[in-house]
Amino acid sequence: MQYEFITVNPDAQPGGIAHIQLNRPKELNALNLELMSELKSALQGLDKNEAVKVIVLSGNEKAFAAGADIKQMAGKSAIDMYEVDQFSTWDAIKKIKKPIIAAVSGFALGGGCELAMLCDMIVASETAKFGQPEIKIGVMPGAGGTQRLTRAVGKALAMEMVLTGKFIDAAEAYRVGLINRVVPVELFLEEAFRLAAGVAEMSPVAIKLAKESVLKAFDSSLEEGLHFERKNFYLLFASEDQKEGMQAFVEKRPPVFKGK
Ligand code: HXC
What CATH number is given to the structural domain containing 232? 1.10.12.10
Residue 259: its pLDDT value, please? Answer: 86
* 134 carries an active-site annotation: yes
* Domain edge (last residue) among 178, 200, 222: 200
Using a cut of 0.95, tell me whether the model's pTM lies above it: yes
Same domain, 146 and 238: no
How close are the terminal C-alpha atoms of the chain, in Å?
28
Residue 131: its pLDDT value, please? Answer: 98
The upper half-sphere exposure of residue 70, i.e. CA atoms within 13 Å in the direction of its Cβ, equals 17
C-alpha closest to that of 144 among 82, 68, 34: 68
Same domain, 44 and 99: yes
C-alpha closest to that of 10 among 50, 52, 43: 52
Structural element, H or E, at residue 18:
strand 17-22
* 68 carries an active-site annotation: yes
Same domain, 191 and 223: no
Residue 259 maps to a domain = no
Residue 223 maps to a domain = yes
* Domain edge (last residue) among 161, 179, 200: 200
* Domain edge (last residue) among 160, 176, 200: 200
Check: CB of residue 61 under 8 Å from CB of residue 104.
Answer: no
Domain count, the chain: 2
Same domain, 113 and 222: no
Q: Which residue out of 23, 27, 28, 134 has the highest number of ligand 1 atoms within 8 Å of its CB and is therefore the one to mutate?
A: 28
Residue 194 maps to a domain = yes
pLDDT-flagged residues of the chain (< 50):
none
Q: Which of 134, 144, 145, 152 is catalytic?
A: 134
Residue 21 maps to a domain = yes
Check: CB of residue 20 under 8 Å from CB of residue 57.
Answer: yes
**34 C-alpha to ligand 1 centroid (Å):** 17
Residue 260: its pLDDT value, please? Answer: 87
Q: Which residue out of 27, 33, 34, 94 has the highest number of ligand 1 atoms within 8 Å of its CB and is therefore the one to mutate?
A: 27
Same domain, 166 and 219: no
- Rounded distance between C-alpha atoms, residue 42 and residue 231, angstroms: 30
- Rounded distance between C-alpha atoms, residue 198 and residue 196, angstroms: 5
Full DSSP string of 32-92? -HHHHHHHHHHHHHHHH-TT--EEEEE--SSEEE--B-HHHHTT--HHHHHHH-THHHHHH
**Longest alpha-carbon distance in the chain:** 65
Residue 113: its pLDDT value, please? Answer: 98
Q: Which of 16, 106, 110, 111 is catalytic?
A: 111
Check: CB of residue 98 under 8 Å from CB of residue 120.
Answer: no
Domain of 226, in residue numbers: 204-250
Q: How many residues does this entry show for the chain?
A: 260
**88 C-alpha to ligand 1 centroid (Å):** 23
Same domain, 145 and 182: yes
Q: How many CB atoms lie within 10 A of CB 51?
A: 10
232 phi and psi angles, rounded to 5 deg: -70, -35
Residues sharing a CB contact under 8 Å with residue 16, sequence separation 6 or more, in sequence order: 51, 52, 53, 54, 200, 204
Residue 146 maps to a domain = yes
Check: CB of residue 109 under 8 Å from CB of residue 66.
Answer: yes
Check: CB of residue 156 under 8 Å from CB of residue 224.
Answer: no
Residue 256 maps to a domain = no
Same domain, 232 and 167: no
C-alpha closest to that of 107 among 50, 163, 66: 66
* 111 carries an active-site annotation: yes
* 38 carries an active-site annotation: no
Same domain, 120 and 148: yes
CATH number for the domain harbouring residue 15:
3.90.226.10
Q: Which of 12, 42, 65, 68 is catalytic?
A: 68
- Rounded distance between C-alpha atoms, residue 125 and residue 188, angstroms: 5
- Rounded distance between C-alpha atoms, residue 233 and residue 136, angstroms: 45
**69 C-alpha to ligand 1 centroid (Å):** 7
Pocket residues: Cβ below 6 A from ligand 1: 27-28, 30, 66-71, 107, 109-111, 133-134, 137, 141-143
Same domain, 163 and 71: yes
- Rounded distance between C-alpha atoms, residue 256 and residue 197, angstroms: 15
Residue 16 maps to a domain = yes
Same domain, 125 and 182: yes
Same domain, 184 and 208: no
Residue 83: its pLDDT value, please? Answer: 95
Same domain, 57 and 186: yes
Residue 255 maps to a domain = no
